[in-house]
Structure 1
């Protein structure tokens, strides 16, 4: 699974759970303007580490921001937790390993952490085949 696939799945999940709210990628600007409304999302970090030769761990951290600082629904944290705790990425369900609700610069945000273990699938090799040997007779070159 790629970071782009996970980001798309988060956008789709937010759109499904908040149908009457504008959902868009973050521009990275943490200050809100009076006309800012809706929810923004962005990938804060992605990391791939090797556990052993054929096994890897992927870490993704996403930031979800509510832009209306003067109108924060009381149920918003619970709704975001419910929406993002498990997400579907192309038919595979992933569970968040951590969800953290906090406020930064008077803007509420949720940090969502997803951790996945993947195994490198080695290419299939053909099995050993039987070698057939036939006896042959060598003839002299001057015959």
Structure 2
């Protein structure tokens, strides 16, 4: 799964699990001043590490923020955990390897870590083929 596909799966999951709450991608910058209510999501980090010549580890960290600091539901961390612990992408479930709930200033946030192992599929080589031998008539150099 690509980073873009994972981001779309997270956005879709948030919209399904919080249907009456606006879900927005976070705008650029490191500080976020909430001018609206709802949720924002953004990719904090994406890394691809080689384990072996044909195996890789993809690591992604996403930040989900609740924007209405005056109206934080008591069960918000539990709802985030339930929604994002396992997401569906490309017809396969992806499980978060870590979920961290934090309150930073007035804005609560959740960091979600997804780690995937992928294997590079090498092109299959065609099996060895048999050569066909045909006898050829040799002409004598003296003819």
* Runs of 5+ unmatched residues, structure 2: none
Q: Aligned Cα RMSD in Å?
A: 1.3
Q: Secondary structure at the match of 2:51?
A: strand
Task: Find out whether 1:58 has 2:58 as its counterpart.
Answer: yes
Matches within 5 A, 1:127-142: 127-140=127-140
Residues of 2 paired with 1:47 and 1:31: CA distance?
A: 24
Deviation at 1:142, TM superposition (A): 6.6
Q: Secondary structure at the match of 1:59?
A: strand
Deviation at 1:140, TM superposition (A): 3.9
Residues of 2 paired with 1:5 and 1:31: CA distance?
A: 24
Deviation at 1:31, TM superposition (A): 3.7
Deviation at 1:28, TM superposition (A): 3.5
Match of residue 32 from structure 1: 33
Residues of 2 paired with 1:52 and 1:105: CA distance?
A: 42
* 8 Å CA contact 1:31, 1:107 repeated in 2: no
Matches within 5 A, 1:116-135: 116-135=116-135
TM-score of the superposition, structure 2-length normalised? 0.94
Match of residue 114 from structure 2: 114
Task: Find out whether 1:79 has 2:79 as its counterpart.
Answer: yes
Deviations 1:6-57 (A, max 9, x none): 0000000000000000001001453434x42000000000000000000000
Residues of 1 paired with 2:142 and 2:107: CA distance?
A: 98
Residues of 2 paired with 1:99 and 1:20: CA distance?
A: 23
Match of residue 49 from structure 1: 49
* Runs of 5+ unmatched residues, structure 1: none
Deviation at 1:101, TM superposition (A): 0.3
How many residues get paired?
A: 142
Deviation at 1:62, TM superposition (A): 0.1
Match of residue 17 from structure 1: 17
Residues of 1 paired with 2:78 and 2:70: CA distance?
A: 18
